[in-house]
Amino acid sequence: MAHRWDPQQYLTYADERGRPFLDLLARIRAAAPKRIGDLGCGPGNLTRLLLECWPQASVAGVDSAAEMLERAAAAHAGIDWQRADVRDWQPPEPLDVVVTNATLQWIPGHLELLPRFAAMLAPGGWFAMQVPGNFDEPSHTLRDDVAALPAFAEHTRDAARPASHDAADYLRALAALGLDVDAWETTYLHVLQGPDAVFEWVRATGARPVLEALPDDLRPAFEDEFRARLREAYPADASGRVILPFRRVFAVAHR
């Protein structure tokens, strides 16, 4: 089931969502790449960092969501924004750097795409990826618990759910392609504000397909139940701070 993205909602926690991208970028040792592709570029706020880091490069930002690309094109010049499914997109020439950040978790069986991405690399090229690895956390399991309630299950059972693998799985898959691989994971402790801060975070990403699958008359009841369970799982302290642990999985590979 296709779903729409809300760039404004996604950018609510832009700094927190952007931090893993910066950590990924720091491990790419390309000296002077000429051609760069960002697969799953979203609203483009992070893609622009590739151009700032390597201003001499030609950067393509690829995404399937028209609303994300509209935001990207309006806010960030100098990048070739292209609407395409990353499973099908092919660069016209080999790339020196291929980045995919917080995208592959939406593609079932995405390990099978890694040979295709590796084949895009020029000699000496770099492939860098990051995916969330927090799908066993309450922010996701509670979503599914509420979605499975009789009032909602009929509508939510086919909604997309993101999923990923462990760092070792990506390391093995990329090393088998003859690449030198650095893979790791990091759990960030995001400090958010407000009792419903975690709901505001997940409604922009992992919970969005489920929310969109619901009829308008059922969505408020789902959101009320989901919010209540999240408040219990992630209580705010006396100052209104909520701590959201968020595990991320990274791999950087060099040809």
Select from 1.20.120.80, 3.40.50.300, 3.20.20.140, 3.40.50.150 the CATH code of 7-254.
3.40.50.150
pTM of whole model > 0.85?
Answer: yes
d(CA 115, CA 184): 20
Per-residue pLDDT tens for 215-228? 999 999 999 999 99
Cα 119 → chain centroid: 22
Starting at the edge strand found earlier in the chain, the sheet holding 58-63 runs 80-83, 58-63, 35-39, 95-101, 121-132, 241-254, 180-193
Angular region, 197: left φ>0, alpha ψ -120 to 50, beta rest: alpha
Count of CB atoms within 10 A of residue 165's CB? 18
Domain ranges of the chain: 7-254
**What beta strand segments (E) does the chain contain?**
35-39, 58-63, 80-83, 95-101, 121-132, 180-193, 241-254
Q: Are strands 35-39 and 58-63 parallel, antiparallel or unpaired?
A: parallel
User: Tell me, what amino acid is at 23?
Assistant: D
Give pLDDT, residue 12: 53
Per-residue pLDDT tens for 15-27? 888 999 999 999 9
Give pLDDT, residue 222: 98
Give pLDDT, residue 60: 98
Helix (H, G, I), strand (E, B) or coil at 210: helix
Tell me which residue of 54, 146, 142, 135 sits closest to 95, measured CA to CA.
Answer: 54
Judge contact between 252 and 189, C-beta under 8 A: no
Tokens describing residue 247:
């595990």
Give pLDDT, residue 3: 45
**Residue given tokens 């483009």 in the structure block:** 44
Q: What is the DSSP letter of 3?
A: -
Q: Are strands 95-101 and 180-193 parallel, antiparallel or unpaired?
A: unpaired
**Residue given tokens 């690399």 in the structure block:** 121
| Per-residue CA distances from 188 to 96, 132, 210, 248 (Å) | 29, 11, 25, 8
Count of CB atoms within 10 A of residue 22's CB? 11
* β-sheet bridge partners, residue 100: 129
Residues of the chain with pLDDT under 70: 1-13
**Residue given tokens 């009829």 in the structure block:** 215
User: Tell me, what amino acid is at 104?
Assistant: L
